[in-house]
Chain A
Amino acid sequence: MGYDPLIRSLRALFPVGGGKAETPATSSPRREGRAERRPRERAVLCAGMAIAVCFLGTTTALATKAQDIVGNAIDGFIRPGYHAFHEATGGLSEAGKALCATPSQVTLDAARDAFGATVDAWSRIEIIRFGPVTEENRLERVLFWPDRKGTGLKQVQAALAEKDPTATDATQLAKKSVAMQGLGALEFVLFGTGAEALAAGDAYRCSYGLAIAGNLDAIAAELQTAWAAPDGFAETWANPSADNPLFRDGTEAVTELMEVFITGTELVRDVRLGGFLGAEAKDDKPKQALFWRSGRTVDALAGNLAGMKALLEASKLADALPADQSWMGGEALFEFSNAANAAAGAQGAIADVLADPEKRAKLAYFGLVTSSLSDIFGTQMSGALGLTAGFSSLDGD
């Protein structure tokens, strides 16, 4: 908030740092194909026209940079991100095999560490909520959360109680309820009630956990392959054109990227943090926090923002900002650092963090920083890049 499109557009017409203003156009791209305004309406619309001219200038500049920005995002963040996630799930499967073959506290600890590494890798890349991860319910199969009614928990407990043999096979598991086959289910297996029996050799529980790890590894492999495919989603995204079924122009392609930040910050603040952090301590609901059993709540939150920071840097999105607004990129990076520092000061099991006023305050501050980031991307940077800020379209109704 607090940005004024009219002032911004006047700045564009009369740039502070020299340079020539764009020649005023008679109609903006968004009015393409429609009749000219009637002359009597022109006078009252001059201010609106100034905005249109500004958008015309910045979107044209953006269109030429769109392919680079999207290409950078794919090669510099998304492909490496899914690669890292796949590596982590591979390690998780290995650790699971070792635990099942040689049950001990050492192999259990190693499996738990591998779970943590998988959560870290996922938290960075899960901000990508479009493309192959939306196919075949992959997003929910990796992480079904929030499980508000505890459906997944009940299903996991039932499988453990009944020793359902079909749940110990990764291929069959992939066809079961999404809540039974991802990180939430595995967290219960490794950290939930009865998990300590894994160190002493709970064969069924271990094979179910191993099947989940195998399922995650298979999904991770699919994601990595899909993004690497020369004729896949990456190609579609990086090559907008009038005939492209998903991205008709560079602006639409960059908007998809911008929405990662806009929806990502909203998800972190309203869903992940807001799901358990009350307005006051008495309203906190620690057991509504993601990964509370494994103590990875704050790591996951920090991982989401670390992923967004890495994506911002890798894509060089801020380079497309007009020179007099290039400070917005630095402002975002500054806020990402603030968020990382706040998260670093709120480490530990989430119930302990919430019980410690100092740590809890850091978490609340993390939420404020996320709001600020939401404003930087959703209002300031979107506006400066001439992207429609999506008042109606973003996560509409």
Chain B
Amino acid sequence: MAMIGKCTGLIDRRDFLKAAGAAFLSSLTPKAFADTLAADAVFATAYQRRDGAYGAAILSEAGKILQTVELPDRGHDITFDPVSGRSVVFARQPGTFFVAFDHAGRTPPVTVESVSGRHFFGHGVFSPDGALLYATENDFDNAAGMVGIYDARNGFARIGEFPTHGVGPHELLLLGDGRTIAIANGGIETHPDFGRAKLNLPTMKPSYVLVDRRNGDLIEKHELPPELHQLSIRHMDTDETGAVWFGCQHEGPATERPALVGRAVRGKELELVEMAPKVLSGFRNYIGSVAANRDAGTVAVTSPQGNSYAVIEAATSKVLKVERLTEVCGVAPDHAGFMVTTGTGEIVVPEDRSFEENDFVWDNHVLRIG
């Protein structure tokens, strides 16, 4: 479970890329596939195997691995296009690839490299029609956040980009109108020459922006108050009313305890959610993932550093429950509750049922794809 992958130079990585996806595991029979596809829930997540190999997996509702695709390096989040049935898993920053794959095996996986002068931040989103893929990227020489645009129907050719109007963008979301993209600019400057080192902590300035995906026009930009300039806005989801819930990671001293969860409503200032000191303290200044359950009217936030997660009632911002779970990070809506996954290899689904695939540990995010 080496969390620090071997340093892979760009040149080496390109050789790896040729092989990526080639070992797409397809051990299921056609009948099994059909049964799988008929299942009423499917999840996708990046993982690491205990021998150090990286990949992405499709999980059944019961947390069973149905399909895996190997990755040349550590993955991060996955996005899904219901139109083509393809998932895209992005390399963890400062990674330089994404892999698009169809878990039903109708089309072979496609590995796409970042262009020169850019790397991925690990998150992306499809347009509603599945034609375009948008990914957060780093224009690292200029320390400028970018959204790369890819033509999903043409081998994911990169056809353009627009600025995120901030530094170090992380997660992005397509809002309900199908046009507006919300972007969490984490504010942290990095450069691949210096690995994952954070280069600007004393001066970082995170922001939350709304951009029109059709032309890249900036619609809204919000910053936190100056005293919270080290509160990196990183992960988001939308609740049933369309409000965006975001989770933060505090880069200032551990002895400070700023609020870590907030809400963004169009046209209004950002709003931070107050929590009891005991709950907040349990997050260790670090929210790793945010997911809403729109049917249940709840939002879950996870903290792998604090080994705990909380479920919040979206309408009242009230914390409904807090659970301790070692290295919990991945979270996705599941029935009336949430499925959560951990860096120790656990999968916990509602009703406190828990599963473990002995050979796998789960990366930071799990996505509901069906």
Contact = CB atoms under 8 A, between A and B. Distances in A.
A271 B190 CA distance: 11
Interface in A273-308: 274-275, 279, 285, 288
A37 B353 contact: yes
B327 A274 contact: no
B358 A392 contact: no
A393 B197 contact: no
B189 to A, nearest CB: 8
A30 B325 contact: yes
B343 A388 contact: yes
A166 interface: no
Contact of B343 (A48, A288, A392): A392
Interface string B337-370: 0000011110010011111101001111000000
B304 A274 contact: no
A105 interface: no
Contact of B199 (A33, A146, A279, A288): A146
A146 B48 contact: no
B193 A288 contact: yes
Given A34-B354, A391-B1, A392-B363, A134 B194 contact: no
B7 interface: yes
Interface stretch (A13-21, A106-114, A313-321, A374-382): A374-382
Contact of B356 (A45, A178, A375): A45
Contact of A270 (B121, B194, B281, B362): B194
B327 A392 contact: yes
Nearest to B359: A6
Given A1-B52, A279-B9, A378 B4 contact: yes
Nearest to A45: B356
B38 interface: no
B253 A135 contact: yes
A162 interface: no
A396 B329 contact: yes
Contact of A392 (B201, B324, B342, B351): B342
Contacts of B286: 393, 396
B364 A274 contact: no
A271 B364 CA distance: 23
A30 B326 contact: yes
Interface in B1-42: 1-4, 6-7, 9, 11-12
A246 interface: yes
Contacts of A269: 7
Interface residues of B, number: 64
Contacts of B93: 397
Nearest to A263: B4
A72 B254 CA distance: 22
Contacts of B122: 397
B326 A271 contact: no
B352 A130 contact: no
A356 to B, nearest CB: 22
B86 interface: no
A140 B251 CA distance: 13
A5 interface: yes
A392 B52 contact: no
A390 interface: yes
Contacts, number: 164
Contacts of B353: 37-38, 41
A395 interface: yes
Contacts of A288: 193
Contacts of A137: 201-202
Contact of A396 (B12, B52, B288, B345): B288
A38 B349 CA distance: 13
Interface string B158-199: 000000000000100000000000000000000101111101
A397 B363 CA distance: 10
Interface string A76-106: 0000000000000000000000000000000
B143 A149 contact: yes
Contact of B305 (A274, A375, A396): A396
B281 A245 contact: yes
Given A134-B253, A178-B202, A393-B305, A30 B356 contact: no
B255 interface: yes
A157 B3 CA distance: 41
Contacts of A48: 345, 356, 358
Contacts of B362: 392
Given A178-B202, A266-B195, A391 B327 contact: yes
A355 interface: no
B220 interface: no
B323 interface: yes
Given A34-B323, A391-B343, A262 B4 contact: yes
A270 B325 CA distance: 31
Contact of B254 (A5, A51, A246): A246
A371 interface: yes
Contacts of B213: none
A130 B201 CA distance: 14
Contacts of B194: 146, 148, 270-271, 274-275
Contact of B2 (A1, A6, A45, A388): A1
24 contacts: A30-B344, A33-B324, A48-B345, A131-B254, A135-B255, A146-B191, A148-B194, A245-B257, A245-B281, A262-B3, A270-B195, A270-B196, A279-B9, A279-B12, A285-B193, A378-B3, A388-B307, A388-B344, A389-B3, A391-B363, A392-B342, A392-B343, A393-B305, A397-B122
Given A374-B4, A389-B1, A393-B305, 14 more contacts: A3-B1, A30-B324, A32-B324, A140-B202, A144-B202, A262-B4, A266-B195, A266-B196, A267-B197, A270-B7, A371-B6, A395-B3, A396-B286, A397-B234
